[in-house]
Chain A
Amino acid sequence: MTKSLPRFPCSPLVYGTLLGLAAIAFEFTLPPYPRFIFGQFAVLVIITLGVNLLLGVAGLLSLASPAFVGIGANLSTAIMLRAHVPILVSIPISVIAGWCIGWVLGTVSLRLAGFYLAMVTFGFLDVFLVILNEGGDYTGGGYGLIVPISTLPIIGNVTLDVVIAISAFTAGLMIVLVGQVQRSRIGRAWLAIKDEPIAAEIQGIDVPRMKTLAFAVSSALATLAGTYQALLLGVTNPSAYSLNVAVAHLTYVVVGGMTASVVGPVVGPFILFVMPETFRAIGQYREVFYGAILLLVLIVAPNGITGTISDLMTRGRARLGR
């Protein structure tokens, strides 16, 4: 956009806060059940933003997104149960832990070809699920943990409405912040690594380090979403972090379009989670549904829905002779 709008001297933090507040306002126009769906949707948007940052922007495939969601959910709940601290303490600790684990995993696997990350994260997810099921009192074994009721200053008890509001606000804020990061020096470095790794290196980009950073950021986002998910559902469910969930996350990203965009990560979960959930359409065919959609979109519309629509618009404009 060369003839851009006059730039307001506002930081992205202000825009993000405004979008977050708008999301909260929208929440309270909804009846109870759609409101709950909206909360889950907000959590999925945060996860998908992270997965898209890794897959769509940096061009790296990870299968550990459910593991990090699980780490967020279990760690924050365990901290709350054991140390009797409020979510204001447990959530930041969990997110930092998620970031660190992501950094270590990335350091090990990302010196090599990109597909090694997919393999290592595949195994990591396996190990995480074993730990979860065998962790005894710390993870609740195969049954999961029940999330205690927490309090926040000023607001008081963290009810379901409050959790949904926090999730919605964070999702709004993250949409703007992640968009900002994608346009920043770091985001452009990620895109360069995805498209032209050798050229990127010649430009002086520390390729392994930037890849590791992308994975750490993506992991931290998934962990954050996981802490919200536990509060939202009231329990940590060990069967909610399987490989099928990773495929669902990938499907959101691929359907949204694997590009440096923040529209895709909103559109993907909306079409694939909110709409089927509203119509209660899939049931036991959920895995088949996600697998089939994923394959179909890869074949028919490799740029995802947003990419295809913008392609069509460009072509339409060309036909109109503009």
Chain B
Amino acid sequence: MNLLVGGIAIGAVYALVAIGLTLIFRATGVVNFAQGEMLMAGAYAYVLLTQSGAGPLVQILGPIALGAVIGLVFFFVTRILLRRAPEISIVIGTLAISILMQAAARLKFTDNPMRAVPWLFGDRDVSLGSGTTISINSVTVVVVTMIVFGALYWTFRRTTYGKAMRAVAEDPVRAAITGIPVNRMLALSWSLGGVVAALAGMLLAPITGVYPAMGAGVLFPAFIAAAMGGFESVFGALFGGIILGVVQTYAVVGVGGVARDGITFALLVAVLIWRPQGIFSTVTLRTH
């Protein structure tokens, strides 16, 4: 039971990162290789704020605000500074930023992981009766992810801003003609991606500790989760992430830690061969 919940919790973190990747890719066509470093920045902000003894509201809102600001910086770099660059150069640009952020964190904080206290409820197990217990932190992670997913879903379906963002993602030129401020919507997409990543960082921090490469380790599973949704579907990214988390957890227990990355990689190859348009996606595939 604990194993399953733990797997779902890790999967929920993957899902949050994958949702961020999907939001940004759908809106801007950029695969953000620095999504993991956005997560890492959020995690460091959270740890430093808890250590400084700030109030609980500041502990939560601080990293989120930082995530939004980092998202805006990415918008500025990719959309303003690199506006004439081809898509592939922008992707390389995000890679460069990811290396820069990681190296900066390493120079400032060294490679030693910092311990983080779980959010709100601390780190304890709750009995469900009949001898089974589950970690309350895992439950927090899953619940927060569900709330984020629900909020995003509602935003995209019901609010004017969400609909405008979807319109820009579909067709920026026609969206501009109808009077939607395209750049503002793209900036919003980037900062939403940053916020989701920062949240993932806060949730992952107590599980793995906080260190410069923590985001880089999550990026590849998140890619796979996003690919399961065909980089189109937020729902697909959510379920892809959770499935992957559970599969990985059972693989580590059943086969051993070494096999984890191999199985993860095999899963990506299987998805790409079996349903390259994404398992949870209905759109037809762009092949080039």
A associates with B: yes
Q: Which A residues contact B (CB, under 8 angstroms)?
A: 55, 59-61, 63, 108-109, 111-116, 118-120, 122-124, 126-127, 130, 134, 197-198, 201, 207, 243-244, 247, 250-251, 254, 258, 284-285, 287-288, 290-292, 294-295, 298-299, 302
Question: Which one of B84, B93, B106, B272 lies within 8 Å of A120 (CB-CB)?
Answer: B272
A113 to B285, CA, bound (A): 9
A116 to B216, CA, bound (A): 17
Contact between B99 and A247, CB atoms less than 8 A apart: yes
A116 to B85, CA, bound (A): 19
A164 to B96, CA, bound (A): 31
Known: A118-B31, A302-B89. A126 touches B95 (CB 8 A): no
Residue of B nearest to A244 (CB): B99
Shortest distance between the CB of A106 and any CB in chain B (Å)? 12
25 CB < 8 A contacts A-B:
A63-B95, A112-B276, A112-B287, A116-B272, A118-B31, A118-B33, A118-B91, A119-B31, A119-B220, A120-B269, A122-B223, A123-B268, A130-B262, A198-B288, A247-B95, A285-B107, A287-B100, A287-B103, A287-B106, A292-B100, A294-B96, A295-B77, A295-B97, A295-B100, A298-B92
Known: A120-B268, A298-B89. A111 touches B287 (CB 8 A): yes
A126 to B107, CA, bound (A): 23
A299 to B79, CA, bound (A): 11
A322 to B95, CA, bound (A): 42
Across-interface contacts of B288 in A (CB, < 8 A): 113-114, 197-198, 201, 207
Across-interface contacts of B227 in A (CB, < 8 A): 116, 119
Across-interface contacts of B89 in A (CB, < 8 A): 254, 258, 298, 302
Shortest distance between the CB of A203 and any CB in chain B (Å)? 14
Shortest distance between the CB of A311 and any CB in chain B (Å)? 14
Contact between B272 and A108, CB atoms less than 8 A apart: yes
Shortest distance between the CB of B247 and any CB in chain A (Å)? 15
A294 to B77, CA, bound (A): 13
Sorted from nearest, which 5 A-B pairs have the closest CB atoms? Answer: A287-B103, A291-B100, A291-B99, A294-B96, A197-B288
Question: Which one of B88, B103, B224 lies within 8 Å of A55 (CB-CB)?
Answer: B88
Binary contact track B223-247/A, C-beta < 8 Å → 1, others 0: 1100100000000000000000000
Residue of A nearest to B264 (CB): A123
Q: Beyond the given A243-B99, A295-B93, please list 16 additional residue pairs across the A-B interface where CB-CB is below 8 A.
A: A61-B91, A108-B269, A113-B288, A118-B33, A122-B223, A123-B261, A123-B264, A126-B265, A197-B288, A247-B95, A250-B92, A254-B89, A254-B92, A287-B103, A291-B97, A299-B77
Across-interface contacts of B92 in A (CB, < 8 A): 61, 250, 254, 294, 298
- In residues 233-288 of chain B, which contact A (Cβ within 8 Å)? 258, 261-262, 264-265, 268-269, 272-273, 276, 285-288
Across-interface contacts of A251 in B (CB, < 8 A): 96
Contact between A291 and B93, CB atoms less than 8 A apart: no
Across-interface contacts of B81 in A (CB, < 8 A): 299
Residue of B nearest to A119 (CB): B223
How many A-B residue pairs have C-beta atoms within 8 angstroms? Tell me: 121
B102 at the interface (CB under 8 A from A): yes
**Chain B contact surface mostly:** helix
Most-contacted residue by chain A among B77, B87, B96 (CB, 10 A): B96
Q: Which B residues contact A (CB, under 8 angstroms)?
A: 31, 33, 77, 81-82, 84-89, 91-93, 95-97, 99-100, 102-104, 106-107, 216, 219-220, 223-224, 227, 258, 261-262, 264-265, 268-269, 272-273, 276, 285-288
Across-interface contacts of B219 in A (CB, < 8 A): 122
**Chain A contact surface mostly:** helix
Most-contacted residue by chain A among B86, B106, B219, B261 (CB, 10 A): B261
Shortest distance between the CB of B190 and any CB in chain A (Å)? 17
Most-contacted residue by chain B among A60, A126, A284, A290 (CB, 10 A): A126
Question: Which one of A127, A284, A290 lies within 8 Å of B265 (CB-CB)?
Answer: A127
A114 to B92, CA, bound (A): 13
Question: Which one of A123, A198, A247, A254 lies within 8 Å of B223 (CB-CB)?
Answer: A123
Across-interface contacts of A290 in B (CB, < 8 A): 99
Across-interface contacts of A55 in B (CB, < 8 A): 88
Contact between A243 and B82, CB atoms less than 8 A apart: no
Contact between A115 and B31, CB atoms less than 8 A apart: yes
A318 to B219, CA, bound (A): 48
A282 to B230, CA, bound (A): 41
Contact between A134 and B258, CB atoms less than 8 A apart: yes
Across-interface contacts of B265 in A (CB, < 8 A): 123-124, 126-127
Contact between B272 and A109, CB atoms less than 8 A apart: yes
Shortest distance between the CB of A126 and any CB in chain B (Å)? 6
Across-interface contacts of B86 in A (CB, < 8 A): 59
A92 to B259, CA, bound (A): 30
Shortest distance between the CB of B15 and any CB in chain A (Å)? 17
Residue of B nearest to A125 (CB): B220
Residue of A nearest to B92 (CB): A250
Shortest distance between the CB of A308 and any CB in chain B (Å)? 14
Known: A108-B269, A120-B269. A288 touches B103 (CB 8 A): yes
Contact between B273 and A108, CB atoms less than 8 A apart: yes
A149 to B270, CA, bound (A): 42
A284 to B110, CA, bound (A): 12
Shortest distance between the CB of B270 and any CB in chain A (Å)? 10
A250 to B103, CA, bound (A): 17
Most-contacted residue by chain B among A122, A250, A290 (CB, 10 A): A122
